[in-house]
Amino acid sequence: MEPGAELAVIVPTFNERKNVLALVEKLQAALGEIRWEVIFVDDASPDGTADLVRELAAEDRRIRCIQRFGRRGLSSACVEGMLASAAPYLAVIDADLQHDERLLPLMLEELRCEAAEIVVGSRYTAGGGIGEWGAGRARLSRIGGRLGRILVPADLSDPMSGFFMMRRRVFERSRERLSAIGFKLLADVFASHPEPLLFKELPYTFRPRHAGESKLDSVTAWDYAMLLLDKLVGHIVPVRFVAFSIVGVLGIAVHFAVLAPLLQVAHTRFMVAQAIAALCAMSFNFALNNVLTYRDSRLRGWRWLRGWLLFVLACSAGGVMNVTVASFIFKSYGTWVLGALGGIVVGSMWNYAVTKFFTWGRSGT
Ligand code: GDD
Ligand code: MN
């Protein structure tokens, strides 16, 4: 019988078709005699990345593909890739050849000889570098790194790194507490592991992207904020509910911005104006929640329209509930502030729970 791989290299992909072959060749060259496998975790890339990986996999059993539908997210993709492997050592690397794969055997050596439990490819330790980055991106990366100190040990020089290798045990012991939100799995692992991790950093120079485009955008910063928030308060309140509430407060502003001119300029009847304003606020909330709160299950096309309808229906029921609870409290205790607050809390919890399940189809987190 042939034993399984010793090292699993997990590669999250979204639209990386043009990089897959080059990466596999580089891995082959770098890993030589090591028993390795590579698991591509692709989020249904429109460019057919997964099809190409499967073509390669048909020729080489070390190559595997996991394809996810209706889902997005670098960290959660990596977690699923790791769960699909039995290898005692797990690495994560970008598909676009920006990370130096020649570090992998050195990382493995550090783990094998127990010099570390986790080894990080660092751009900032002596000998590393960020290559050809614009000043803006470099600054953003540094700010992110500083904020990340909340999660990781102070002497880790590149907490934002997307290139690392760890013992399977490290993954397993952090797994349950991982937030798996956004891009920063490494910081997440450090923050989720029950004890401080014995780590080592190896320098490398960040290379320019081989083909295609970066998936990092302004919403990545929001994801990062949500990761930090989840680590800080996630055990008390679900971070999605926090995001949903922030969006809800913005929705109130939209409501008034629509209501005021309708009443004062167009002299619309109050009931009609209120209904229009509520519909605008709900639509705004739906659209914003779709790109922020539920970025990893974002709806598009027809499903967007269906989701919008479900959202409006659910929130209308939430509105009825809000008024019912508020007037009950008001009648029982006679204080309108308490009544209004009670109505808002119950109504928004209803909206959150119902739309999470019906609109975005999420039953877990
Ligand atoms: N499955 C999946 N789903 N993969 C994704 C997604 C997603 O939603 N978004 C991005 N990826 C994949 C990309 O296809 C790529 O292989 C890898 O994740 C990194 O994405 P890039 O778009 O290339 O990110 P970057 O180069 O700007 O940043 C990377 O390197 C930094 C430095 O190490 C990331 O790894 C950062 O987290 C890291 O800080
Ligand atoms: Mn990249």
Give pLDDT, residue 152.
86
CA 35–ligand 1 middle distance (angstroms)? 25
Nearest-5° angle of CA 346, CA 349, CA 350? 85
H/E element holding 91? Answer: strand 89-92
pLDDT single digits (tens) 69-87: 989 999 999 999 999 999 9
User: Of the residues 210, 233, 256, which one is the last residue of a structural domain?
Assistant: 233
Of the listed ligands, the closest to the CA of 17 is 1
Token pair in block for residue 128: 């590393």
**Residue 123: band (very low, low, confident or very high) from pLDDT cuts 50, 70, 90:** confident
At 220, is the pLDDT very low, low, confident or very high (cuts 50, 70, 90)? confident
- The number of CA neighbours under 13 Å toward the Cβ of 190 is 26
Same domain assignment for residues 98 and 178: yes
Q: Are residues 292 and 245 in the same domain?
A: yes
Compute the distance from residue 168 Cα to the ligand 2 centre, in Å.
24
260 and 167, same structural domain? Answer: no
* Residue 273 sits in the same domain as residue 223: no
Q: Domain range spanning residue 14?
A: 7-233
Residue range 94-112, pLDDT digits in tens: 999 999 999 999 999 999 9
DSSP state of 266: S
Task: Look at residue 314 and tell me whether its pLDDT is greater than 90.
Answer: yes
- The ligand 1 atom at the shortest distance from the C-alpha of residue 144 is 39
Q: Are residues 228 and 251 in the same domain?
A: no
Whether pLDDT at 138 is above 80: no
* Number of domains into which the chain is organized: 2
Residues 199 and 252 in one domain: no
pLDDT of residue 83: 97
The 3-state secondary structure of 162-222, one letter per residue = CCEEEEHHHHHHHHCCCCCCCCCHHHHHHHHCCCCCCEEEEECECCCCCCCCCCCCHHHHH
Q: Residue 159: inside a domain, yes or no? A: yes
Task: Determine which of 134-138, 173-177, 220-224, 348-352 has the lowest per-residue pLDDT on average.
Answer: 134-138
User: Ligand 1 center to residue 7 CA distance, Å?
Assistant: 21
CA distance linking residue 294 with residue 72, whole number of Å: 10
Q: Which of 200, 233, 266 is the last residue of a domain?
A: 233
Tally helices (H) and strands (E) across the chain.
Answer: 12, 7
N-term to C-term CA, the chain: 40
Q: Which of 9, 10, 14 to mutate to test the pocket of ligand 1 (most atoms within 8 A of CB)?
A: 14
3-state helix, strand, coil in the chain (%, to 5): 55, 10, 35
Assess contact for 74 and 150: CB atoms under 8 A: no
Considering only CA atoms, which residue is closest to atom 36 of ligand 1? 162
Torsion of CA 204, 208, 214, 220, to 10 degrees: 40
Q: Is residue 187 part of a domain?
A: yes
Mean pLDDT of 124-129: 68
Name the closest-CA residue to atom 14, ligand 1: 13
pLDDT over threshold 90, residue 287: yes
Closest atom of ligand 1 to 43 CA is 1
| Ligand 1 lining (C-beta closer than 6 Å) | 12-14, 16, 41-43, 72-74, 77, 94-96, 98, 160-163, 183-184, 214-216
CATH of the domain at 73: 3.90.550.10
Q: Are residues 164 and 267 in the same domain?
A: no
DSSP letter at 122 equals E
Whose CA is closest to 226, among 174, 184, 175?
184
The ligand whose atoms approach the alpha carbon of 94 most closely is: 1
In a domain, 364, yes or no: no
- Asked whether residue 2 is assigned to any structural domain, the reply reads no
- Are 256 and 225 members of one domain? no
Distance of CA 136 to the CA centre of its chain: 22
Q: Please give the Cα distance from 17 to 196 (Å, whole number).
A: 38
Cα 263 to ligand 1 centre (Å): 48
Give the HSE-up count for residue 233: Cα atoms under 13 Å, Cβ half-sphere.
Answer: 10
DSSP strand pairing (118-122 vs 199-203): parallel
Q: Which ligand approaches the C-alpha of residue 74 most closely? A: 1
Residue 169 burial (CB count, 10 A): 11
Amino acid at 95: A
What pLDDT is stored for residue 145 in this prediction? 73
* Residue that is last in its domain, among 199, 233, 267: 233
- The residue type of 38 is V
Q: Same domain, yes or no, for 35 and 155?
A: yes
Reported as a single tens digit per residue, the pLDDT across 5-19 is 999 999 999 999 999
Ligand 1 geometric centre to CA of 270 (Å): 50
Residues 160, 286, single domain; the answer is: no
Q: Is residue 193 part of a domain?
A: yes
User: Residue 94: what are its φ and ψ, rounded to 5°?
Assistant: -70, 155
CB 234 within 8 A of CB 179: yes
**Residues within 5 A (CB) of ion ligand 2:** 94, 96, 98
Q: Is residue 300 part of a domain?
A: yes
The Å distance, Cα 329 to ligand 1 centre, comes to: 50
Quote the Cα angle for 59-69-21, to 5°: 30
Asked whether 79 and 185 are in contact (CB, 8 A), the reply is: yes
Average pLDDT across the chain, whole number: 92
- If asked whether residues 247 and 196 sit together in one domain, one would say no
Q: Both 149 and 274 in a single domain? A: no
Query: For residue 326, is it within any domain?
Result: yes
CA of 23 to the centre of ligand 2 (A): 12
Report the pLDDT value the prediction gives residue 331, as an integer from 0 to 100. Answer: 92
State the Cα–Cα distance between residues 157 and 285, nearest whole angstrom.
39
Q: Is residue 185, in this structure, part of any structural domain at all? A: yes
Note the pLDDT of residue 131.
Answer: 64
